[in-house]
Chain A
Amino acid sequence: MISGLNPGFLLMAGALLIPLLPRLLRQGWLVALPLLSAAQLLTLDRGDRGEVTLAGVTLHTLFVDDLSFTFALVFHLALLLGSIFALKVEDATQHVSAVLYGGAAIAACLARDLVTLFICWEVVAVASAFLIWAQRTPRAYQTGMRYLAWQILSGLLLLAGILALVVERGGPAKLTGPLVFEALPLDGAAGWLILLAFGIKAAFPALHTWLSDAYPEATPTGAVFLSGFTSKLAVYALARAFAGQEVLVYVGAAMAIFPIFFAVIENDLRRVLAYSLINQVGFMVVGVGIGGLGVSGAAAHAFAHVIYKGLLFMSTGAVLFRTGTADANQLGGLYRTMPFTAVCCMIGAASISAFPLFSGFAAKSLIMVAVAEDHRPGVWFLLLFAAAGVFHHAGIKVPFFAFFGHDSGKRPPEAPWNMCLAMGLAAALCIGIGCYPPVLYAILPGPITADYAVYTAAHVITQLQLLLFSALAFCVLMLSGRYPPELTSTNLDVDWLWRRPGRVVWRELTGPIAANFGRLQALLLEGLPAAVSRAVMRPLRVDGLAARFWAMRTSVLVTVVLLLAYLLVGAVHAAR
């Protein structure tokens, strides 16, 4: 098709058309756009092209190799499935932000240089926040703000890292070619800043709170998009820049372990899925940290994960759409009236649990093999434990409490046809990849080839044993009544570590300066007693209405002080 055009840009441009189209045309466009863009991707050759000059800087906007192709392809799939799932949403804002979001993520994957990456990184951040705000509740607004603060922080760190890189390479003057996005060393500020930026998006431990905080607050359809792009983009970025970095192995292992505990006690099923998402990304990060086969595994896992996690979020989204809740204690027994959704959910659950013949198995095995071949028994056992935990909370808990379990008495109708279609397609992909993994292996980066044998007796038996024991544990706990009850509760995550002091700092910072700036001046310069000042100034806090006259006085005084200070400093400076 169009030579040298990053398909992500095609999507972003197409997104801007959405609000102008009438309803039916819009629905057609929403489906056609990812297909068009995917066609563009498939016609691109491997190699570096797509130079664009932006404000005097030449950007290399396109780079297709196996790694970027894999991620770009699966993002297209996620966008297509998500768009079908969200087809009947009337709110154009959601569609625009979803397509912009997906488009930017794809563009970021295919970006050749760091500046393009940064630009797309920021678009990803802002566009995705709208999917949370679109819920239009004060709670969603607050959550969206927190979410966005993290995302923007990530962007700023990335920018700072890029600038530090420029400085490390001898300043802007010495920079000749583009700042190519390639393997970065961890030997200076630049590498660490960029790693931290990726780490926030990848939900590294203690930097993950935005994810478990925000995804459950998004719209039913928004969560499907959110689960697909942001963290996987980060995995891609890590794989591109930091493949084989030892530190990632340990970070990834920690990521795979800690969310399990939160997921088990969590009531909101979408939050359970959010925690299991972190756990899954942990596997990928381990794979990236090992490098080589591990990177192939991470890419394969990301590919499979985007689809089955999307499927799980779609099924819980459908439940939320029909019943208005995703809380485990208010659901149960929905299989009677939503059988199709229930089946899809179970397929997703089987995939995430890595049952043989489902996509998760084909992908996760690669990472496990990579870990074993790298001779890391400790990490291997940790991941094994994490895999068992996944089956436990995402594989059993989600379908069990939503569709089976105690009967909630709710009899919602089956999900609308477009949602069912999207779920059906995703489920078919899960099974297809699981039964015939070579289609996935053929496109993967690294040493893996299409004829890689994943269904060996050892792999299958290990996994089945693991799953059976995990299921056994669940049954025993349920039957003996020791399973953590499904209660409406607020589980403290490290969130409060950020939020409590953050709020205090924020209040202390903006409060006195912004609202009481004038009051401070009055106290200092006018010599009014504090009580009088407070009484006078309280009504002014909103917009400092009548503060004008003393503001004028102090402004004049400040002017004189400024002049004297400058004269004095000037005199001292000149004397030296």
Chain B
Amino acid sequence: MSLLATGLFNLLNYWVYVSLMMIGLYAVIAKTNLVKKVIGLSLFQTGIFIFYISMGVVSGATTPITWTDAERLRLGLSRVEVAPERAAAALAAVEEDGLDAARAALGPLAPADAARLDELLARPYTNPLPHVLILTAIVVSVSTMAVALAIVMEIKAAYGTIESDEIVTAELETARAARS
């Protein structure tokens, strides 16, 4: 049970993305309605977006924007137990002498807190590159949807239906008529 739980939660983002992809593919395969197929395709691609976005995550890290040392320290301090005066001293020190001096001014911390703070200061932000990539991919996806829906509209105009089985029937009748 615990193994299952570990597998489930540690790889949660993968489970989510694979599930979304599979749901999307199922819709593409099983739905006869062309718009639903397009929705399936969209879901499929959304799964991939989640995969990309989640891969950039660094646990405990900040958003990927430019931080000054002081801002980063302030964020770190808000996540640990520390006396206010020592925090103020550290903030003063960071303005003067940088992060290392501030860390010294802070004095000893509880081991868990120290680890968390050090990690935050060392890896300060999540990887922004996947986000940027996926921004582009979303644009691509939206364009695909647009083209797909445009074609579906044309199909509706040409066949009077967007159900694939009815279109097949219509084509069969055309073929039959052409032969006889």
| Complex: A in contact with B (CB within 8 Å) | yes
**Which A positions have Cβ atoms within 8 angstroms of B?**
536, 539-540, 542, 545-546, 548-550, 552-553, 556-557, 560
CA distance A407 to B93 in the complex (A): 130
- A521 CB to closest chain B CB (Å) equals 13
Please judge, given known A-B contacts A556-B28, A556-B29, A557-B29, whether A540 and B164 are in contact too, CB under 8 Å.
no
Q: Determine whether the beta carbon of A540 is less than 8 Å from that of B175.
A: yes
Q: Is the interface of B mostly helix, strand, loop or mixed?
A: helix
Partner of B179 from the list A539, A548, A553 (CB cut-off 8 Å) is A539
B residues near A540, Cβ cutoff 8 Å: 172, 175
Contact-residue size bin, chain B (C-beta under 8 Å from the other chain): 10 to 19
Q: Determine whether the beta carbon of B29 is less than 8 Å from that of A553.
A: yes
A-B contact pairs, 24 of them (CB 8 A): A536-B168, A536-B172, A539-B172, A539-B176, A539-B179, A540-B172, A540-B175, A542-B175, A545-B171, A545-B174, A546-B167, A546-B170, A546-B171, A546-B172, A549-B32, A549-B164, A549-B165, A549-B167, A550-B168, A552-B28, A553-B28, A556-B28, A556-B29, A560-B25
Closest chain B residue to A541, Cβ basis: B175
B residues near A552, Cβ cutoff 8 Å: 28
Q: Determine whether the beta carbon of A556 is less than 8 Å from that of B175.
A: no
CA distance A268 to B79 in the complex (A): 105
CA distance A546 to B174 in the complex (A): 10
A residues near B28, Cβ cutoff 8 Å: 552-553, 556
| Chain B 96-109 interface mask (CB, 8 Å, partner A; 1/0) | 00000000000000
Query: Which residues of chain B from 127 to 180 have a CB within 8 Å of any chain A CB?
Result: 164-165, 167-168, 170-172, 174-176, 179
Q: Nearest 8 pairs between A and B by C-beta?
A: A546-B171, A549-B164, A546-B168, A539-B175, A553-B29, A556-B29, A545-B175, A545-B171
CA distance A59 to B25 in the complex (A): 56
Q: Determine whether the beta carbon of A549 is less than 8 Å from that of B168.
A: yes
CA distance A560 to B25 in the complex (A): 9
- A478 CB to closest chain B CB (Å) equals 56
CA distance A550 to B30 in the complex (A): 10
CA distance A21 to B105 in the complex (A): 103
**Which B positions have Cβ atoms within 8 angstroms of A?**
25, 28-30, 32, 164-165, 167-168, 170-172, 174-176, 179
B residues near A548, Cβ cutoff 8 Å: 168
Q: Is the interface of A mostly helix, strand, loop or mixed?
A: helix
Closest chain B residue to A549, Cβ basis: B164
Q: Give the interface centre of A536, A542, A549, A560 by most chain B CB atoms within 10 Å.
A: A549
CA distance A548 to B168 in the complex (A): 8
Closest chain A residue to B168, Cβ basis: A546
B residues near A560, Cβ cutoff 8 Å: 25
Supply 5 further A-B pairs (C-beta < 8 A) apart from A539-B179, A548-B168. Answer: A540-B175, A545-B175, A549-B165, A549-B168, A557-B29
Closest chain A residue to B41, Cβ basis: A556
CA distance A562 to B91 in the complex (A): 58
Q: Give the interface centre of B25, B165, B172 by most chain A CB atoms within 10 Å.
A: B172
A residues near B179, Cβ cutoff 8 Å: 539
CA distance A553 to B34 in the complex (A): 12
Q: Determine whether the beta carbon of A556 is less than 8 Å from that of B25.
A: yes
Q: Determine whether the beta carbon of A546 is less than 8 Å from that of B25.
A: no
CA distance A548 to B29 in the complex (A): 12
CA distance A556 to B170 in the complex (A): 23
- B19 CB to closest chain A CB (Å) equals 14
Closest chain A residue to B175, Cβ basis: A539
A residues near B175, Cβ cutoff 8 Å: 539-540, 542, 545-546
- B170 CB to closest chain A CB (Å) equals 8
CA distance A548 to B159 in the complex (A): 15
- B158 CB to closest chain A CB (Å) equals 13
CA distance A515 to B148 in the complex (A): 30
B residues near A556, Cβ cutoff 8 Å: 25, 28-29
Closest chain B residue to A554, Cβ basis: B29
CA distance A556 to B41 in the complex (A): 11
- A551 CB to closest chain B CB (Å) equals 11
B residues near A546, Cβ cutoff 8 Å: 167-168, 170-172, 175
- A515 CB to closest chain B CB (Å) equals 14
CA distance A527 to B174 in the complex (A): 25
CA distance A530 to B171 in the complex (A): 20
- B106 CB to closest chain A CB (Å) equals 48
B residues near A553, Cβ cutoff 8 Å: 28-30
Q: Give the interface centre of B165, B175, B179 by most chain A CB atoms within 10 Å.
A: B175
CA distance A560 to B28 in the complex (A): 12
- B18 CB to closest chain A CB (Å) equals 12
CA distance A542 to B171 in the complex (A): 13
Closest chain A residue to B165, Cβ basis: A549
Q: Give the interface centre of A548, A556, A557 by most chain B CB atoms within 10 Å.
A: A556
CA distance A556 to B25 in the complex (A): 8
- A400 CB to closest chain B CB (Å) equals 53
A residues near B172, Cβ cutoff 8 Å: 536, 539-540, 545-546
CA distance A549 to B37 in the complex (A): 11
A residues near B168, Cβ cutoff 8 Å: 536, 546, 548-550
CA distance A545 to B173 in the complex (A): 11
- B47 CB to closest chain A CB (Å) equals 13
- B162 CB to closest chain A CB (Å) equals 11
CA distance A483 to B37 in the complex (A): 77
CA distance A557 to B22 in the complex (A): 11
- A554 CB to closest chain B CB (Å) equals 9
Q: Give the interface centre of B30, B32, B171, B174 by most chain A CB atoms within 10 Å.
A: B171
A residues near B176, Cβ cutoff 8 Å: 539
CA distance A553 to B29 in the complex (A): 5
CA distance A540 to B175 in the complex (A): 8
CA distance A550 to B167 in the complex (A): 11
Closest chain B residue to A553, Cβ basis: B29
A residues near B171, Cβ cutoff 8 Å: 545-546
- B151 CB to closest chain A CB (Å) equals 13
Closest chain B residue to A539, Cβ basis: B175
CA distance A557 to B26 in the complex (A): 9
CA distance A549 to B167 in the complex (A): 9
CA distance A240 to B145 in the complex (A): 68
B residues near A557, Cβ cutoff 8 Å: 29
Closest chain B residue to A535, Cβ basis: B172
A residues near B170, Cβ cutoff 8 Å: 546
CA distance A545 to B169 in the complex (A): 11
- B42 CB to closest chain A CB (Å) equals 15
CA distance A506 to B136 in the complex (A): 51
B residues near A549, Cβ cutoff 8 Å: 32, 164-165, 167-168
- B173 CB to closest chain A CB (Å) equals 9
B residues near A539, Cβ cutoff 8 Å: 172, 175-176, 179
CA distance A256 to B176 in the complex (A): 56
